[in-house]
Structure 1
């Protein structure tokens, strides 16, 4: 496998470099998204639509704990990219060691709390009625694998910060493929139901961790740690925390949105409405994979060149990333507008022996999902500016604007909208809150990104 040195981030043409960084990231995100998508299709076809709703209830809790690892990873990766750009290898090593120690401490505590409060958390996130029991089965098993997920997510961002996107891609592919194989065995062959789906997911996390560990112990990684690097360093922890808090806050808001959406939709339409949202939530993860891939590829390029004070390259990376992401987002938008019914049908069981309740849920999902999906993704072509703009501030280590812009769409606009609109518009109010929030957040991000480029990057002198 061809290796990409960190120095290439500051020398290769931006367009070529962004493709080199973004394509593996996009493939990795695609495979992970396909994993969630196909996993949901398997569960829907082999267990039932109520099972899809049950997983949708559990995901925000387990993903939030896993996102602690990503937050620590992204915060540290920003430091590592800039440290490598400034030839400060010791700081890069110390940062990585602190990431490992902090991830282990935090996720272990969170898992213990998650297990202790299991019977309170599941209903709070919408796991009521027929959803509660399958959600609890899935939740308890998956939670034991979440520390491995956190370490994988942390390690993956560091691998990318080293300029090794292909290795990061493989790390994302392994748990996805493993999960799908285990899904077939545990659900279809062994008929373990929700427990089978949960064990398949957990084993996928463990496989990913094994590969990430292999990478950092191998010759491919430039970050070779010793015990002294694992000791917690307060200044580095503060910097990791301030930058990683952006990612953590975003995931916390996402978890809060799941909580609100599941409860609001349960009130409006019961388990069937949550099943509609579960399908749309999977598409939100899956359909935008190329845009997220460009964003992930952009981060180390912007961070390295900012650290090296190559401001013209930073400006070029911003413009190129926005262009690539906007084109890809438009292609995604067209597919979702044309084929929403076909997409919804993939998730539903064709078993003629379904219960009357399951048949009623399926009919509701087929009737309501296409229009809901079109509303949710109506503003997709413009989101590139918002994602790249927020990512830029995170890449250069400006935690406060990165945090505020990251929270703009989902926290400042979307949450108020889903609290205000549904009492007047019902479920339509829930779905139109998505594009309204997208438009408002893009306007705000565009204003601050333009101001930053004009006052900082254009005015700054390069060495």
Structure 2
């Protein structure tokens, strides 16, 4: 898990390099996902299943604002990787300075709007009935920390673009561990309920920001920016925007998906059905951590070598990343198909003194989650091609195909399916939409990626 200098991205064997990049990324995503998972287990056991649904309602709004930071980070990091590959250090520094300025300006403005429209946004995202009040508590507190989360997500991608995956991994671990410790103190020991869950999450963001701020001030970073680098540059902003828009669009569609899913499921089965989706959503974040880790590790390798015009290495990195990601995705698939009921049971409380409503809700969730989980993850073994294919175009700076492939699964297939199939097949129509969308998106991505390799990489390499 040693860090590599940026120039080593263009010289080390691809397989070894991908492992060096992907393992720390996977560990970081694993710990972050475990944090989300265990946080949900704590909330479910110590507050209740309605609290799980409340947090699930809030996530799309807070994650969308935080995703602004990730969008700026990934868009800028693609520029930085290619600039370092082309030995253009000044462009890399100017890009990083612009990323910081842009992240602060946009996220602070978005948080202001999010707080102003709080009473409208929560019901729109499914926070109805008993879910509304705990969702509002959690939302209001967490939103104050979201600009720091956005800066963390932006900074983390830049650290990885420098070839320092171990530091990026630590940056992801710190808020996760901090959140879990504070969850125990604030919820279990101090009995602060939803307030405790929200403050634990916000404090985790602040801890992460402190670490990333230290990294860029220390000798570990190659990017030593000064005040002139913070001045916005139109050309760089356009390039960050075009590439970052891909990530932002993906998160925007994800937020729309949460909005639709929460409302559709609430109509089908009330708060309990929303809680089922909350558990499924956590597993989507957690179970696929190694696949996302390989994707994150692949991005700087492809971007650097493309910038250095080492096209044979770019092609090799694509095939190697797909192979590694498909292997781990298949292992995840096997586990989820065998143990869905046991996994669902982890999220539900069995404490004494529960009300009849809580017992009824827990029983419903336990009965409905296993079948839903099998449907949602049915196409997991093939998603590696979909993720790596879309990431490739983003890594090399081709914004339009990256955007289209990123939106293919959720925007072009999944949303139309969940708006249609439930009317004919009810609950099964909702869950089967996940697998159908995965299959269709993978086919489209595979065709497009093969055409690009044949037309671009093979021709240039020859």
Indicate the TM-score class for this superposition, using the shorter chain for normalisation.
over 0.9
Does 2:380 match 1:411?
A: no
Aligned residue number for residue 266 of structure 1: 266
Aligned residue number for residue 356 of structure 1: 356
Q: What's the secondary structure of 1:196's corresponding residue?
A: helix
Aligned residue number for residue 149 of structure 2: 149
User: Residue deviations 1:25-45, cap 9 Å, x none?
Assistant: 000000000000000000000
Aligned residue number for residue 300 of structure 1: 300
Aligned residue number for residue 196 of structure 1: 196
Does 2:284 match 1:323?
A: no
CA distance in 2, matches of 1:236, 1:355: 57
Q: What's the secondary structure of 1:385's corresponding residue?
A: helix
Aligned residue number for residue 224 of structure 1: 224
Distance 1:320 1:3, change over 3 A: closer
Summarize the alignment of residues 7-26 of structure 1 with structure 2, pairs less than 5 Å apart.
7-26=7-26
Summarize the alignment of residues 370-449 of structure 1 with structure 2, pairs less than 5 Å apart.
370-449=370-449
Aligned residue number for residue 234 of structure 1: 234
Aligned residue number for residue 125 of structure 1: 125
TM-score normalised over the length of structure 2? 0.99
Summarize the alignment of residues 30-109 of structure 1 with structure 2, pairs less than 5 Å apart.
30-109=30-109
Does 2:313 match 1:313?
A: yes
Aligned residue number for residue 278 of structure 1: 278
CA distance in 2, matches of 1:63, 1:2: 30
CA distance in 1, matches of 2:461, 2:358: 65
Q: What's the secondary structure of 1:4's corresponding residue?
A: coil
Does 2:12 match 1:4?
A: no
User: Residue deviations 1:57-111, cap 9 Å, x none?
Assistant: 0000000000000000000000000000000000000000000000000000000
Aligned residue number for residue 215 of structure 1: 215
Structure 1 spans left out of the alignment, 5+ residues:
none
Q: Is the 8 A contact 2:243 2:399 kept in 1?
A: yes
Does 2:181 match 1:170?
A: no
Q: What is the CA-CA distance between 1:2 and the residue it aligns to?
A: 4.5
TM-score normalised over the length of structure 1? 0.99
Q: What is the CA-CA distance between 1:3 and the residue it aligns to?
A: 3.8
Q: What's the secondary structure of 2:434's corresponding residue?
A: helix
Q: 4+ residue stretches of structure 1 with deviation over 4 A?
A: none
Q: What is the CA-CA distance between 1:358 and the residue it aligns to?
A: 1.0
Q: What is the CA-CA distance between 1:352 and the residue it aligns to?
A: 2.2
CA distance in 1, matches of 2:58, 2:196: 15
Aligned residue number for residue 256 of structure 2: 256
Q: What is the CA-CA distance between 1:355 and the residue it aligns to?
A: 1.3
Structure 2 spans left out of the alignment, 5+ residues:
none
Q: What is the CA-CA distance between 1:351 and the residue it aligns to?
A: 1.2
Q: What is the CA-CA distance between 1:4 and the residue it aligns to?
A: 1.3
User: Residue deviations 1:300-330, cap 9 Å, x none?
Assistant: 0000000000000000000000000000000
Q: What is the CA-CA distance between 1:356 and the residue it aligns to?
A: 1.2
CA distance in 2, matches of 1:208, 1:389: 30
Summarize the alignment of residues 327-342 of structure 1 with structure 2, pairs less than 5 Å apart.
327-342=327-342
CA distance in 2, matches of 1:86, 1:394: 17
CA distance in 2, matches of 1:113, 1:411: 25
Q: What is the CA-CA distance between 1:268 and the residue it aligns to?
A: 0.4
CA distance in 2, matches of 1:258, 1:375: 17
CA distance in 2, matches of 1:206, 1:165: 21
CA RMSD of aligned residues (A): 0.7
Q: Is the 8 A contact 2:145 2:202 kept in 1?
A: yes
CA distance in 2, matches of 1:354, 1:291: 38
